[in-house]
Amino acid sequence: MVLGNGKLIKDKHGNMELEDYNMKLLGKDRLREVIDLQQHVYDNLPNKEVLYMDSYEDMLSDMESGAKIIGVLNSKNRIIAYRYIAFPGVNKRNLGYDISLDEDQLNKVVHLETTVVDPKYRGNSLQSLTLEAAQGLSKKEGYNHFMCTVSPYNFFSLYNIMKNGLKIKALKKKYGTDEEEGLWRFILHSDLNKKSLNPIDLVISKWANLDMQKELIDQGYIGYEIIKDTKQLNYVKFDDAAI
């Protein structure tokens, strides 16, 4: 299924070449290439903490239970970016548990799992474009809660995710064997069916001040938007504190 196509700029800060791309759902037959791209992106990351690597086996079994991979292919049909989305249902990995989402809503949760863009193709908004495609696909299938984790040290990803309407609802260590281990992650959420709420307070936090943000979240504030230039986060409290 083709989800989109157009032109993008390869090597935006170097030779700059215009190239055709198309976006489509990938089958299991291309999973090895997906894993290779993930490895390439990981190897090029200055801070490895920002990307939790998915294994071939885990992704394969997840695809067999309905997870999807939206791929972006260049003019030579090479995968240059992908977004992996999963539908965790009542499985304990559902991020809804981390924000105390009502039990009857867990089956409506979509996980925006990993996204990677080949460094040569960055700056074409592929993270946002694949997110829009994921939202369109999932909405059609009756899902309305979008959730993901983002490392507090991954400014680019946090900015893109919040720009697309997800709000910070929790900050905790994830992907470890217990609460003490693991990697710091914001947990973000948006509910397409939720009407706008009534804000009653606003507090500004520096992007890197995790202690302050954790305290604000504990007091019922939601990380509402991030300002690109100042790298400040606006935390807002609503009169309806419920998610």
Residues in the chain: 243
Kindly tell me which of 80 and 243 has the beta carbon lying closer to ligand COA.
80
Q: Are strands 145-150 and 109-117 parallel, antiparallel or unpaired?
A: parallel
CA 136 from chain centre, in angstroms, equals 15
Q: Which two tokens stand for residue 145?
A: 């809660």
Residue 120 backbone dihedrals phi, psi, to 5 degrees:
-70, -15
**Residue in 75, 105, 107, 125 binding ligand COA, rule: CB under 6 A:** 125
CA angle 20, 126, 80 (to 5 degrees): 60
Residues 161-200 vs ligand COA: string with x where CB under 6 A? ----------------------------------------
Kindly tell me which of 94 and 115 has the beta carbon lying closer to ligand COA.
115
Told to check if 74 binds ligand COA by CB under 6 A, we report no
Query: What is d(CA 188, CA 149) in angstroms, rounded to the nearest whole number?
Result: 6
**Residue in 74, 94, 127, 205 binding ligand COA, rule: CB under 6 A:** 127
Of 92-100, 125-133, 192-200, 219-227, which part binds ligand COA (CB under 6 A)? 125-133
| CB 172, CB 185: distance < 8 Å | yes
User: Applying CB under 6 A, which residues contact ligand COA?
Assistant: 12, 41, 45, 50-51, 114-117, 122-127, 154, 156-157, 160
